Structures are given as C-alpha cells and as structure tokens.
C-alpha cells in the first residue's frame, strides 16, 4: 500500500468519524432513541461507492443498516464486521467542548461517540469505500452491520436483527466489533494490545420496596424509601469474592511473563498495578459486580410514598450468573421485589484459531513491538446477540494509545475523545486484517 493510499484512507476515516459524531444519535433508554439520521448517512456513504445496503427499522426511528460484500469464495464462512450507531447522552454543560461538534483539538477528535463507537464505524466505512474504489474483493463474504440500541440492551438493534432477520447473517460464523485491539503500555514500556475474547454477562434489575404511604410529619416504621435505601446500600457496599475465568488467568499469566512478576492464580489483584488506566476495567473482570445506578421515589416533600425503587447494573463472570442472582436476593431480603429489566449472557472463547492469528499478524505488521493478549470485557457488546445464532464474536477495534491516555474514562465519560494518531494506526490495522481474514 502506497503512502498516498494510506493518507487517503486515514483522511477519510477522520472525516467520516467527525460526520458521524455531528449526528447526535442519542439513546436515552426505555425505547427512547433514534438512529434514523445517522443510519441514512451510513447508507449514503456506502451508496456513493456502489455498496448497496438495507435499512431494517425495528420501531419508528430505530434503524439498523446491513450490507453484504461478496467475497471471492462465498462458500467460505462469512465474517460479520459490526458497530452500533447509537450513543449515550451527553450533558453539554459538563463538557469543555460541544459534544456534538466533533472538534479537532490537541491531536484528538472530541465528541460523544468518538470512542464508543463512531470511530470504529468510520474505520469500517473508510476501508470498504477504499475497496470499492480500487476494485478489491475480499477472500470471503463480509457482512457489515451497523446496529441500533446497543446502549440500552440491543432490543431494537442486534437482538431484533437476530430474532427477525437472521437470514442477513447466513453463512457467517465469526464477527468482530468494539473495545478490543487497543494498546496498554506497562510501566516497563512493553505495549500490550488487548483483544476481547470474553464478556461479562448483564443483569439489569429493578428493586422495589413497598411501604405505608402517609403524611411526612408523622412516625412511619414502614417507609418504602428507608427500605429501598437500606437495600441499595447493602448491594452497593457488598464485597464480592474473586472469581477467575479462563481468559482472566491467561491474561494475567502473560502480564507476569512480560513484567517478570510472580503469578498466583489464587490472588491476581497485585498484578493490576501494572495496567495503568486499564486497571479499573480489568479489576471488574475479577469478580461479579452490582452497582446501583438509579433511584425513584416520592412526589412531594411532605408525603411518604407507598413504594420506592432502584435500578442495579449487575454484571457476572462467565459461569457465575446464578451466584450473582442468589447473592442479590440474599442481600436485599424477601421483602424487596426484584424485576429483570435486561438480561444477557456472558461470552468466552479461546484465544486461538485463524481469525485470532490474523488479528495478531495485523497488529505486529504495524507495530512490531505489539504483544497481543486476550482479555475479558467488563461490559457487553452486540456479539452477545450474534452468539444466539452461533456466530463467535471478538472485540477488535484497533487503536494505538499514548501511555498516559485514560482510554477507559472515555466510555460514557465527559470530554470523550479519540487520538487522531491512534485512529490513523487503527484503520490501517483494520484494513490489513479485513483484507486477510
């Protein structure tokens, strides 16, 4: 690939990333979202180079875009390359820049979705636009999928597509998507690239306490707010036991090898100190977690309500879903009701095979010092839905990051931004991977 070709693809990735950010496809949850404008723009970008796509609308404004690029050998199993079009809300008053302007400043593209995940969408689109211009045909079919609703359980997105339109994925056996292939520089200067081969499961639940409604001036020992507050405090302060998945053990074995530190599979926490910004996210993959995220109760200062509720974001290690649910039930007691809002499986696959090998080769081609390692993601992706139809998913959205850049703080955070140098590196790695996968 010539330097002029690289420059063209990089410039187009930056432009498309900014255009996508400037379309505020905000998902507020509870079905309140709209991806239509950004989906229409993706369709336009693909259509400009002759790539035909189809929009699948699961509800008014909830749009998924699918395109299949035929490979030289369509009898080979196909690869799904997917991203989500929605983003979480951004309170502009908290930001130092307009979250939907996609400003370039200090070597970064700033804006909601810059890392989650309009950067990856831009890399995918720039790659296939280049293919169309030069007439490149991949070895096997590539299905491009840009989903709705990933930020609120994927009900209107990947789960809708898997449930109602599984035929669009016919012949596909593997997939790649977000939050993998990014670099973490250790204190000794070694540069790891974390490839996601496992995800914690999700159980969002609503806790509800019933009580005796009444006047705020009188004694009330059956106050629903007091009851839900006590339950939430117990959940939020519970110390979960360490639970190590196969992937976590492989990851930390590699950390020990690279750093020369001792490996103790009964206590992996001491090795977290090597991981810098990634330590918070990786730390969450050593145990189940349950974080209170919402409270709802009352309607007037002098009225004790008859009920009060809270939302808990529960995440479980592969193999430990029952332990999460049983522990929450025991913590809150029988008087608190538990209602499932969203539940999705944990995923875990081995760090091996032709696709993984190609990820590693593509990283090493562009960074000879790269050390690819598998890891467990503390959150979840649309790979969970694709797993329902037998498609094995990985997180591979490559970025080379400066050692002091707190990448994990960007996800759903204030002043979300992606480094242009990292994005430039990422699209060249992704292009190489997709052309050889």
Q: Which domains does the chain have, with CATH numbers?
A: 3-188+346-436 (3.40.630.10), 201-344 (3.30.70.360)
Question: What pLDDT, on the 0 to 100 scale, is given for residue 5?
Answer: 86
Q: Which of 271, 244, 246 is nearest to 259 (CA)?
A: 271
| Tokens read off for 175 | 């997939």
Per-residue pLDDT of 31-61, as tens digits, reads 999 999 999 999 999 999 999 999 999 999 9
Per-residue pLDDT of 77-89, as tens digits, reads 999 999 999 999 9
Residue 186 main-chain phi, psi, to 5 deg: -80, 165
The interaxial angle of helices 36-47 and 118-134, nearest 10 deg, is 20
Question: Is the pLDDT confidence value at 416 over 80?
Answer: yes
Distance CA 56, CA 99 (A): 28
Question: Is the pLDDT confidence value at 173 over 90?
Answer: yes
Q: Which of 29, 39, 153, 16 is nearest to 88 (CA)?
A: 29
Contact of 312 with 291, CB cutoff 8 Å: yes
Contact of 279 with 272, CB cutoff 8 Å: yes
Question: Is the pLDDT confidence value at 246 over 80?
Answer: yes
Question: Is the pLDDT confidence value at 229 over 80?
Answer: yes
Distance CA 132, CA 126 (A): 10
| Contacts by residues 187-192 (CB-CB < 8 Å, ≥ 24 positions apart) | 187/259, 187/274, 187/276, 188/258, 188/259, 190/258, 190/259, 190/369, 190/371, 191/367, 191/369, 191/370, 191/371, 191/400, 192/254, 192/255, 192/258, 192/371, 192/372, 192/373
Share of the chain above pLDDT 70, in %: 100
Question: Is the pLDDT confidence value at 231 over 80?
Answer: yes
Q: What is the pLDDT confidence band of residue 303, given thresholds at 50, 70 and 90?
A: very high
Pairing of strands 417-419, 214-215: unpaired
Q: Which of 201, 222, 229 is nearest to 310 (CA)?
A: 229
Contact of 354 with 54, CB cutoff 8 Å: no
Per-residue pLDDT of 93-123, as tens digits, reads 999 999 999 999 999 999 999 999 999 999 9
* Region 402-406 average pLDDT: 93
Contact of 277 with 407, CB cutoff 8 Å: yes
Distance CA 67, CA 90 (A): 30
Q: What is the pLDDT confidence band of residue 368, given thresholds at 50, 70 and 90?
A: very high
Question: What pLDDT, on the 0 to 100 scale, is given for residue 3?
Answer: 79
* Region 139-150 average pLDDT: 97
What's the whole-number average pLDDT of the chain? 96
* Region 124-150 average pLDDT: 98
Contact of 251 with 378, CB cutoff 8 Å: no
Contact of 124 with 429, CB cutoff 8 Å: no
Q: Tell me the pTM.
A: 0.93
Contact of 43 with 49, CB cutoff 8 Å: no
Question: What pLDDT, on the 0 to 100 scale, is given for residue 4?
Answer: 80
Per-residue pLDDT of 24-33, as tens digits, reads 999 999 899 9
Residue 94 neighbours by CB under 8 Å, 6+ apart: 414
Question: Is the pLDDT confidence value at 2 over 80?
Answer: no
| Residue with the larger pLDDT of the pair 153 and 147 | 147
């Amino acid at each position: 690939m010539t330097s002029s070709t690289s420059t063209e693809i990089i410039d187009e990735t930056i432009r498309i990333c900014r255009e996508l950010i400037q379309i505020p496809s905000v998902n507020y949850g509870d079905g309140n979202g709209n991806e239509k404008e950004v989906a229409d723009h993706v369709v336009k970008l693909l259509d400009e180079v002759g790539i035909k796509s189809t929009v699948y609308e699961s509800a008014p404004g909830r749009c998924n875009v699918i395109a299949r690029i035929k490979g030289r050998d369509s009898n080979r199993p196909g690869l799904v390359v997917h991203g989500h079009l929605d983003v979480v809300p951004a309170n502009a008053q908290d930001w130092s820049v307009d979250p939907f302007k996609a400003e370039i400043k200090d070597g970064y593209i700033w804006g909601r979705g810059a890392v989650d995940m309009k950067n990856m969408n831009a890399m995918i689109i720039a790659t296939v636009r280049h293919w169309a211009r030069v007439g490149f045909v991949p070895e096997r079919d590539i299905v491009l999928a840009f989903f709705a609703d990933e930020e609120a359980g994927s009900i209107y997105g990947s789960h809708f597509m898997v449930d109602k339109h599984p035929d669009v994925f016919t012949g596909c056996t593997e997939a790649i998507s977000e939050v993998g292939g990014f670099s973490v520089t250790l204190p000794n200067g070694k540069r790891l690239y974390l490839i996601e081969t496992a995800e914690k499961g999700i159980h969002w639940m609503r806790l509800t306490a019933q009580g005796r409604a009444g006047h705020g001036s009188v004694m009330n020992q059956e106050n629903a707010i007091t009851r839900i507050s006590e339950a939430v405090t117990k959940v939020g302060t519970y110390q979960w036991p360490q639970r190590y998945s196969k992937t976590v053990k492989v990851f930390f074995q590699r950390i020990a090898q690279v750093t020369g530190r001792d490996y103790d599979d009964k206590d992996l926490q001491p090795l977290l100190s090597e991981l810098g910004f990634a330590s918070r996210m990786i730390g969450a993959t050593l145990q189940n977690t349950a974080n209170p995220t919402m409270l709802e109760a009352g309607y007037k200062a002098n009225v004790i309500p008859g009920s009060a509720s809270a939302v808990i974001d529960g995440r479980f290690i592969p193999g430990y879903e029952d332990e999460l649910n049983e522990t929450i039930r025991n913590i809150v007691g029988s008087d608190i009701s538990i209602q499932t809002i969203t539940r999705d499986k944990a995923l875990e696959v081995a760090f091996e095979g032709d696709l993984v090998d190609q990820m590693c080769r593509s990283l090493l081609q562009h960074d000879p010092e790269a050390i690819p390692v598998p890891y467990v993601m503390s959150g979840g992706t649309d790979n969970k839905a694709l797993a329902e139809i037998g498609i094995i998913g990985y997180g591979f959205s490559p970025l080379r990051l400066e050692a002091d850049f707190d990448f994990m703080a960007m996800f759903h955070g204030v002043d979300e931004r992606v480094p242009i140098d990292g994005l430039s590196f990422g699209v060249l790695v992704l292009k190489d991977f997709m052309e050889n996968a």
